[in-house]
Each structure stands twice: as structure tokens, then as C-alpha cells.
Amino acid sequence: QVQLVESGGGLVQAGGSLRLSCAASGLSFSMYAMGWFRQAPGKEREFVATISWSGSSTSYADSVKGRFTISRDSAKKLVYLQMNALKSEDTAVYYCAAALRGTGQAYAYWGQGTQVTVSS
């Protein structure tokens, strides 16, 4: 059974930082690209960042580029999202997702989400 469990969310002031973690189990972690998505109240879920199965390639939404960093520790089956210079518009539920290598970023597995609230 595949499980993705996010942690690290919380309340932070604008300009502050948070690091989200996603622990994966039940899958061959090194075979999966990992992504972070978010959904704000009343809005559709949107892409935030992705990292390739090897960790050699990353991609970011324009809205977070230069502020957020995605990384992975394949030995520990963890993926991180370091979020700096947070803004009120970053407030959302953040989800971790996994896409099997070769499936063209088709995210098959999702976590339950962790709330990030940025106060201005």
C-alpha cells in the first residue's frame, strides 16, 4: 500500500520560512518523480514544484521560483519543500505526489496534505 505523508505545515508570518517533508512508503521511491502541489480556499489545485526520479532535474511554478526549493533523499524516501520569503498568497494546503518514471508526470499517488498559513 502506497502512502505519502506530509508534515511541517503551520502558521508563519510573511517573510518567514517553512520546510515541508513528505515521507513515502510502499513504492520504489527511486523510480518516481515527486511533486508538490497546493490548493488555496476556493481555488483549483496548482503545481508548485517537481523533482525527477534521480534528483538531477527540478522545475518550479513561476510564482515560487527563487523562493522555494524542492529536494529529495532517496535513502530515507523523503522529499522536501523549503519555502522562504513566504507571502500571504502562499497560504494553501500543500500536497505531495508521486509519478512513476516514464509516465510523463502522471501523478498516481497523493498525500493527504498539510496546511500552510502565512499571516501578513
- Retrieve residue 64's grid coordinates: 515560487
In this structure, are residues 55 and 108 in contact, taking their beta carbons and an 8 Å threshold?
no
**CA–CA dist 7, 43 (Å, integer):** 22
**CA–CA dist 112, 120 (Å, integer):** 26
Residues 14-61 pLDDT 10s? 999 999 999 999 999 999 999 999 999 999 999 999 999 999 999 999
pLDDT of residue 103: 82
Average pLDDT, the chain: 96
Q: CA distances (Å), 10 to each of 33, 76, 108, in order?
A: 25, 23, 26
Is the confidence at residue 104, as pLDDT, over 90? Answer: no
**CA–CA dist 7, 19 (Å, integer):** 9
Single-letter code of the amino acid located at 23: A
**Cα 101–Cα 28–Cα 2 angle in degrees, nearest 5:** 105
